[in-house]
Structure formats: C-alpha cells, structure tokens
Amino acid sequence: MNNTCSGKKDFNLYSLLIAEDEVMEREALQSIISQKFPGVFYIEAAGNGREAAEKAERTQFDIVFMDIDMPAVNGIEAAKKIKQKNKDCRIVFLTAYDEFNYAREAVQIGAVNYILKPASDDAICEAVEKAKNEIDQIRENEKLNSSVKHKLDSLAQWLEEQIVISFMSGYLRSSSVASQLSELKISFANGTFIIINSPDQTSAECLLKLVRSFAHSRQLRLAAYEYDNCVYMLAVSESEDVSSYCEAKEYIGELRRYILQSCGYRIYCTIGSEFSQLEDGGKSFYRAQLLQGRCSDDLPVAGINELLDLTSPNVQKSGFEDKLYQCLLENSENSISQTVEDMVEYYCRELKNDFETSRRLHDIMRCVLFRANKDAGITSITEQQLADIFNGIKNRAELAREAKSLACKIACEMSCAKGGRNAQIVKEIESYIKQNYKRDIFLQQVAEEMNYSDTYFSKLFKQSFNKNFIAYLTDVRIEAAKELLKQPTINIKDIGEQVGYRDNNYFTKVFKRATGKSPTEYRNSLYL
C-alpha cells in the first residue's frame, strides 16, 4: 500500500515520512506500517537526507523514520533541519551502528526512538505506536489550549465591553471598573475615549473586527465595544508620562491607513478629553460623542483638544463646569448669572474669537446637562434644542443671555426633581448607612454606590439631614454603641470595633464628645 501525501492534511490521519537510501528497506518499512496500521497513515518516502528535508519543508510530517547513514546529508543533520521547522515532529532513527555518539545526538535532537537494524516488525510497530500516541497527546493539548484560549478571549472581550458600557451609560462605579481593568491586567494612569464610524456604511461589527486585528505600535491598552454603527473605545495609558490623548491621535492615524489600505473603507474618528480619574471617563465619552457631527472627509479625525483649544493651560484649568454645576445645585439665580458672565468674559479673552467662545460654552452646557441628567434625571432639554440655541447666537451679549436662561432652567428643574425625590432618597440613604455603618465607609464611596456625583450627594445629604455625612454617621454609630453598652456581657473594648471604630481610644474620645461620658461611665450610669 503506497499512500502519497498531497500536502493537504486530514487532521484525523497521520503523516509519515520514511527517509532511507536502501530501496528494499524503504519499501519494507512502508509495507509493514501500511499493513499493521491500515488507513491510519499517508506515507511519503525520501532516498536521502536532503530530499527528506526538502519534503518536510512542504509538508509538516507527524512522524519521520530516518536512517542515519545516508549520502548527501546524513540523517542527524536532516533531522535537525526538520525539527527546526516542526518541533512537534516525532523522529525515529534507524541505524546499523550501535555507536554512543549517534545515540547521544539522537537524544539531543529529541528523537522518540533509536532502532538498530535489522529491526523486527514488532519493534517497528512499537516505535510507530509510541510516536502516534505522543502525536495524539499533542493534538489533545492543542484542542484544550485552543478551547481555553477561546474562552479567555471571550471573557476578555466581555470585560472590555462591560468597561466601555459603564462609561457610556453614565452609571459608573469606579471600584468596579478598576477591578475589571485589573482582571485584564491593565494598569490605569490616564485614559481617553474614541468613537469610530464609517461614512461607507460599513457595519460596526466589521469595524470592530478590523480594530481587533490591527497590531498597533502605540503605548496604549484598548477596550472596545460596537453599538449602533459605531465602535466605542477606551484608550488607556499605563504611564503618567504618556498621554493617552496624544497616543490616541497617533493610533487613529495608523488605524485609518491600515483600514483604507486593507479594505478601502474610510473611517471617521472623534477623540474625547483625557482623564486621570475613572469617574471622569463619562465626560470624555460625552465629548467624543458631541464631536461626531463635526467629522467629514475634510476633517476625518476630530479631537476635543484641537477643536476647543483645551491644550491652553488657562483654558484647561478654568474649572467653570464644576463651578456652574455647584451654582445649579444651590439654585441661586445671582450666582448662576455671575458665573455665566465670568465664563463669557474669560473665554472671549483667552480664545479671542466669539465663535470659539460660543462652542466652548456649548460644550460646557452639554457636560452640565449630562451631569444633571445623571444626578437628577433631567431629560426635558434635548441635544437638538441645545444645538439650536447655540447655533442661532449672533453676538456676545446674546450668548450670555441664552446661557443664563438655559442654566436657570436646568437649576429649576433639578430643584423640582429633587423636591419630589427627597423622601425616597432619605430612605435609601438611611437604609444604606444602617446596613453599612460597621464598615469603613466615606461620602465618596456611598455616593458612588448610590450613583450620585460627590458634589451632588454632599449637597443633597446636608439638605436632607441638616448635617454633613460624618456627623450623621457618627450619630448612628454612637446610638448603636449605647445599645451594646446595655448588655453587660459585651466587653467595652469590643464595642468600638462592632460599631465601625478600629481604634478603641478614638472610639472613647468620639463617644465622650457626643455624650459627655466615656463608654465605661455611660454603662455605670445605667445601673445607678
């Protein structure tokens, strides 16, 4: 039986090469293997070492029977060449010489067997069976590794998507995202949001595959998610010395060239602001989203820094967004009016262009509206309404007037929404603190877990309870301590820890400040 290998390999069969310069021995080996293992192997033959190496270049053989003493290139040298190209190939050496040097070299190459001629049929079959079993194990491991890799890749992609969705949804828990980034072995220093789409009606699924297949050279770690004809990406720098925004611009340039050259598709990209705190990632996403309408063939990449001149140190550090939002929380018309006037004057001076000033205020109002929607559920003012207001502005005075009117409207709606929700919010806060006062909790953590911004939650808390968060938490802990002090079997030293104080001396100090008595004095007074 003489099966020849066509080069196309059936994974269920095994390929075997017999390299032997003696024709009769070569044919005898082929006959023994074909008869003992019918339909298991397809077999090729080579008359010398050079021919064997050349055939192994074209076909990856599972098993090679190699005579050592052959003309042109001996079996040892031919086997070395084959193993360099195909490390999993199982080599069985045949030789008429029982020499130590040959045996040593065979071991060094990784031969699975070393058979002395003349060999019995059983010895040959035993060598074939051993080599075949090793190939089976390799294939099984490959299947297992492939399955594990596929599952890990799927899990990694799922984690990427969850991270991106967290930023897009506005309901971001920094601790959860930090944990997911850690699972992906991403060390976050700063990040930037990127949004990609194609004017050629290319599907987002196709774009995502292209993004994942692109081997970029930038110092970035990327998490991607496709939704509604766009690919949304978080670009992370793992070093404080490397700007994710600058790297993202370079990455986008490389990606656009790659996609255009490989598929002929055009892509438009927007880049949001850089952020170093995870809770600010939503702003970066929102700003990238705002720029989508600006892209065209003349401007295929729109970066927030360039379009709004955010790289100017004065503009970058103005802090008007936070200041205006604080005014909205206070619902103070005078403060809102003054802040808007300050903004207009400041940006006109720094940007020296009424149009750019209008765009900058438009961006700030969008971000403020985004926060108001997240914190208080304000949805009555749409993106289109906002755009219509700012697109129709003709001069500086009109800009200030419209911005004031819009800000006051948002503040009024936030106040109304807050009034209607206060009772429910108070219940939620009371319940949360009652369940968690024994832990080390702080305002920022509670705000995050209840999906409020720190600023809004702090203001809301004080208005609802007429005291700040620390004072309220202390009252809850002291009342719990009083109840425990009524139980004489509980050691006073343990009570502090049970109500959230790890330092007993500090607990005693806080308790005395609140009640006028130390814990011991308070317990003794209960039995007078």
Which range is least confidently modeled, 31-40, 390-399, 501-510? Answer: 390-399
What is the structure's pLDDT at 505? 86
The predicted model gives 29-49 an average pLDDT of 92
What is the structure's pLDDT at 7? 38
pLDDT at 1 > cutoff 70 = no
**174 shares its domain with 298:** yes
**321 shares its domain with 339:** yes
**289 shares its domain with 335:** no
Question: Residue 85 maps to which CATH number?
Answer: 3.40.50.2300
C-alpha torsion 378→384→388→389, nearest 10: 10
List CB contacts of 178: < 8 A, sequence separation 6 or more.
Answer: 188, 278
The predicted model gives 313-331 an average pLDDT of 69
The band of 334, judged by pLDDT with boundaries at 50, 70 and 90, is confident
Last residue of a domain, one of 250, 276, 308: 308
**319 shares its domain with 185:** no
**180 shares its domain with 256:** yes
Last residue of a domain, one of 91, 119, 147: 119
In a domain, 131, yes or no: no
pLDDT, tens digit, 9 for 90 and up, residues 284-299: 888 888 787 778 887 8
In a domain, 427, yes or no: no
Residue 275 DSSP label: B
The rounded Cα 500 to chain-centroid distance in angstroms is 35
- Cα(42)–Cα(14) distance, integer angstroms: 6
Which range is least confidently modeled, 29-43, 123-137, 435-449, 451-465? Answer: 451-465
pLDDT, tens digit, 9 for 90 and up, residues 65-112: 999 888 878 888 999 999 988 989 999 988 876 655 666 676 667 777
The predicted model gives 370-384 an average pLDDT of 72
Please say whether the beta carbons of 113 and 131 come within 8 A.
yes
**236 shares its domain with 273:** yes
Residue 45: enclosing H or E segment and its boundaries?
strand 41-46
pLDDT, tens digit, 9 for 90 and up, residues 413-458: 777 766 555 566 777 788 888 888 998 888 877 877 777 767 777 8
What is the structure's pLDDT at 446? 82
Q: Which residue has the higher pLDDT, 216 or 238?
A: 238
Last residue of a domain, one of 119, 135, 154: 119
**242 shares its domain with 114:** no
- Cα(293)–Cα(366) distance, integer angstroms: 14
Place of tokens 């009769």: 24
In a domain, 104, yes or no: yes
Reference 42, options 61, 24, 27, 26; nearest CA is 61
Share of the chain above pLDDT 70, in %: 87
- Provide the number of structural domains found in the chain: 4
Question: Residue 480 maps to which CATH number?
Answer: 1.10.10.60
Q: Which residue has the higher pLDDT, 128 or 367?
A: 128
Helix, strand, coil shares of the chain, percent, nearest 5, are: 60, 10, 25
**109 shares its domain with 187:** no
What is the structure's pLDDT at 241? 86
**410 shares its domain with 511:** no
Looking at the whole model, is its pTM more than 0.95? Answer: no
Q: Which residues of 126-136 are buried (b: 16+ CB within 10 A; e: fewer)?
A: ebbeebbeebe
What is the structure's pLDDT at 313? 38
Residue 215 has phi, psi (to 5 degrees) of -90, 100
Number of H helices, E strands in the chain: 22, 10
In a domain, 390, yes or no: yes
Reference 71, options 47, 39, 99, 100; nearest CA is 47
In a domain, 283, yes or no: yes
The band of 315, judged by pLDDT with boundaries at 50, 70 and 90, is very low
| 12 SS3 class | coil
Q: Which residue has the higher pLDDT, 396 or 100?
A: 396
**303 shares its domain with 316:** no
In a domain, 442, yes or no: no
**238 shares its domain with 350:** no
**179 shares its domain with 241:** yes
What is the structure's pLDDT at 52? 93
| 18 SS3 class | strand
In a domain, 124, yes or no: no
pLDDT at 185 > cutoff 60 = yes
Average pLDDT, the chain: 82
What is the structure's pLDDT at 233? 92
Provide the residue range defining the domain that includes 485: 471-525
In a domain, 430, yes or no: no
Which range is least confidently modeled, 34-48, 305-319, 336-350, 361-375? Answer: 305-319
Q: Which residue has the higher pLDDT, 373 or 222?
A: 222
Question: Residue 261 maps to which CATH number?
Answer: 3.30.70.270
- Cα(23)–Cα(46) distance, integer angstroms: 10
